[in-house]
Amino acid sequence: MNTEKLTKLAEKFACNELSLMGMDVKKLECSRKDKRPDFLVKDDFESYLIELKSRFPDFQKLQNRNERLNRGETVEEKTKLGYANVLSGIIKKAASQLNSYTEEQVDYKLVWLHAQGYWLDLQYEQFEITLYGKVGIANLVTQKIMPCYYYMASEFFYRQNEIDGAIISTNKGGKFCLNTFSKRYSALKKSKLCAKFGRAVCDPVAEEIQGRAYNISDCDKDRRHEPGVLKFLQNKYGQPYLTRMSSYAYGAEVKFQLANL
C-alpha cells in the first residue's frame, strides 16, 4: 500500500472519529502548491483547525521485514525512546500549515499525529515524548517511578504560539494532549472537543496537582545540559534522590502458519 492510500485511510479515520463525537467536519481541499490544513472542525460554540500527520513505516524496511517473516525468521527491534528529530520536523511542518490558513478566524489550532504500520504503541509513545519532552523519573529511596514533563526538548514549548494541543492516535484509539504553554490552554481544556475524550486527556498541570507526575515547565535550564535540569527537578520537589530512567522499547515478531487439519 502506497503513501497516498495510507494518507486517505488516516483522513477517513480522523473524519469518522470527529463526526462520531458530534462535530461538524469540513475537509479543506488543497493543491500541491497550496498546503492548507486538513480539517476545519466546529461544535456549537467553537472552531478547531486541525492538520493531520500520519507516521508511515519506511517501505524498504517494511519490505525487508515482511520477507524475513515469510521465511520464518523472528524479527527483533530495540529502540531508545526519546525526543525524535523526525517527528519534530513533521510537527514543524504542521505548524506552518496551520499558520498559513487565513480564510476565517478559528479558536484553536491542533495537530493530529496518527500512527500506521507496525509496533504502533511505540510510535504512539514517541508522539507523546516528543510533544512533551517526557521522561521517566525514579526516586532511589522509595523506588517509585513517575513521568516528568518538559525534562527534554519539547515541541509544545517550541510551538507554544502555533499549536494549542494535539491528538495522538492509532486505529485502536487516541488521546487529547493539551499544550500547557499555549495562551489558550485553559479555554481548550474546557472545550467540547476536549471533553469528548473523557479521561483520555493528557494535562501535565492536572497530573502534577494529583501527584501523578512531575512538571518542570518552569525550568529555565538548557535542556541540552541534563545535570542542570535534574538538579532543578530535585530542588523543586525537595527530593535529592531523583534520577532519570533510560527507556528502551523492545519488540519481537514471528509469523506462524497453521497446518491444515
| CA nearest neighbour of 248 among 125, 76, 78, 131 | 78
Is the separation of the CB atoms in 48 and 110 below 8 Å? Answer: yes
pLDDT at 115 over 80: yes
7-60 tens-digit pLDDT: 888 899 999 999 999 999 999 987 666 678 999 999 999 999 999 998 655 545
Give the integer Cα–Cα distance in Å for 169 and 121.
9
Residue 30's pLDDT is 74
Q: What is the CA radius of gyration of the chain?
A: 20
Burial class, 261, CB count within 10 angstroms (exposed 0-12 / middle 13-18 / buried 19+): exposed
Beta strands of 144-259 (E only): which ranges?
145-149, 165-170, 173-178, 201-202, 214-215, 242-245, 248-253
pTM for this entry: 0.86
pLDDT at 99 over 50: yes
Residue 258's pLDDT is 46
* pLDDT grade for 248, boundaries at 50, 70 and 90: low
User: Mean pLDDT across the chain, nearest whole number?
Assistant: 87
Q: How many CB atoms lie within 10 A of CB 31?
A: 7
Question: Exposure string (b/e) for 135-152, b if CB count within 10 Å is 16 or more?
Answer: bebeeeeeeeeebbbbbb
Length of the chain: 261
